[in-house]
Amino acid sequence: MIKQSIDPFDAILSEAITNPMKRFHFYKAFMDLEVVVIGTVSSDEESSEPVLHLTHIEMNNELVLPVYSCIEKFNKLYKGKYKYIKITTRHLLQLVEPDTPWVLNPGYDISKKIIQEELETLRDGRILHYFFEELDLEEKQDFLTDQMTEIPIQVLEVISSKLKNFPAIKEAYFTHIYNPSLSSNPIPLVGLTVDQEEENSEDLLVQVFQVVNENSLQRIEILILVENLPLTNSIINGNGPFYIRTTIDDLNSMFR
């Protein structure tokens, strides 16, 4: 075994081995990692899709796919003996069937066997959702805070002033939504509560989307919050509205 650490990914893997709270961070980083595998690539004559020709190795009487987390590790071990492919884990999972286990960094002191069930749930995102939900509240908040790009309060003030032109909107909430299985960061979202009699909700969404994104450098998604849905309750209970409709009737009702 080669013990010398030449790869910062070793620290991520080591933490995940000893601390269950770090396993989401490992799988997330692994999915976004550009890995190195032994093999060549060609193009399918009919579909022009890439076809990988990968070399497997035998470990403990089992055929596995060796996967390296950096080219330095690969070169240090094989010293130019084999051709290789550099590819993201996410892309590799889509191009090969998860019927053969992978071994991450075989030949090194810090390595990990990735079994078929892990590969299947990495491929469809289930394992990322599972370990994200296993994080405690503080860990989730810290992770999301690190990933989010904040919208300046001045932008929200401008958006709030523009929403006054849509009388059907009662309140607007700003938050972020996050899908652990995607490689993207948390997505900024404006959630709207509207009058129940509002019939042209699709047109309203399109118009509000245009107005909001004309005034923001970062794309903001727009959603009408349907009453009593878990997502609606989560957004409303976790965030104060940055816009509240005020009408003459609303003001008069204060004196009734």
- Given a cut of 70, is residue 124 above it in pLDDT? yes
Same domain, 187 and 134: no
221 and 192 within one domain: yes
This prediction's pTM: 0.76
Measured from the Cβ of residue 46, the count of other Cβ atoms closer than 10 Å reads 6
Please indicate, yes or no, if residue 2 is contained in any of the structural domains. no
Residue where a domain terminates, one of 87, 114, 143:
143
> Are 91 and 30 found together in one domain?
yes
Residue 246 CA to residue 251 CA, distance in Å, equals 7
Domain boundary among 114, 143, 172: 143
The answer to whether residue 164 is domain-embedded is yes
Instruction: Answer yes or no: is 59 within a domain.
Output: yes
pLDDT for res 33:
95
Determine how β-strand 221-224 pairs with β-strand 243-244.
Answer: unpaired
Closest CA to 77 of 117, 105, 113: 105
Average pLDDT estimate for 76-103: 95
Per-residue confidence band for 138, with pLDDT thresholds at 50, 70 and 90? confident
Residues 104 and 41 in one domain: yes
Tell me which residue of 123, 104, 100, 110 sits closest to 66, measured CA to CA.
Answer: 104
**117 contact partners, CB below 8 Å, separation of at least 6:** none
Within a domain: residue 72? yes
* Residue 145 confidence (pLDDT): 83
pLDDT above 70 for 150: yes
**Rounded-to-integer distance, Cα 168 and Cα 248, Å:** 14
Kindly state whether residues 162 and 209 are assigned to the same domain.
yes
* Model confidence at 64: pLDDT above 70: yes
Together in a domain, 21 and 112: yes
9 pLDDT exceeds 90?
yes
Long-range contacts from 5-9, C-beta under 8 angstroms, 24+ separation: 5/110, 6/70, 6/72, 6/73, 6/76, 7/69, 7/70, 7/72, 7/73, 7/105, 9/33, 9/69, 9/70
Residues 17 and 127 in one domain: yes
Are both 234 and 114 inside the same structural domain?
A: no
Let me know whether 139 and 159 are in one domain: no
Question: Within a domain: residue 1?
Answer: no
What's the pLDDT band for 30 if we cut at 50, 70, 90?
Answer: very high
Q: Are residues 128 and 84 in the same domain?
A: yes
Which CATH number is 190's domain given? 3.30.300.30
Whether residues 52 and 119 share a domain: the answer is yes
| CATH classification at residue 63 | 3.40.1350.90
Query: For residue 124, what are the domain limits?
Result: 9-143
Q: Would you say residue 139 lies in a domain?
A: yes
Domain assignment of residue 113, yes or no: yes
Q: Per the domain annotation, does 242 fall within a domain? A: yes
Q: Return d(Cα 102, Cα 119) in angstroms, integer.
A: 8
Sign of CA dihedral 107, 110, 113, 118: negative
Residues 68 and 40 in one domain: yes
Mean predicted lDDT score pLDDT of the chain: 89
The pLDDT value recorded for residue 4 is 58
Q: How far apart are CA 42 and CA 192, in angstroms?
A: 49
Q: Structurally, how many domains does the chain consist of?
A: 2
Region 32-55: what's the mean pLDDT? 89
- The answer to whether 171 and 245 are in contact (CB under 8 A) is yes
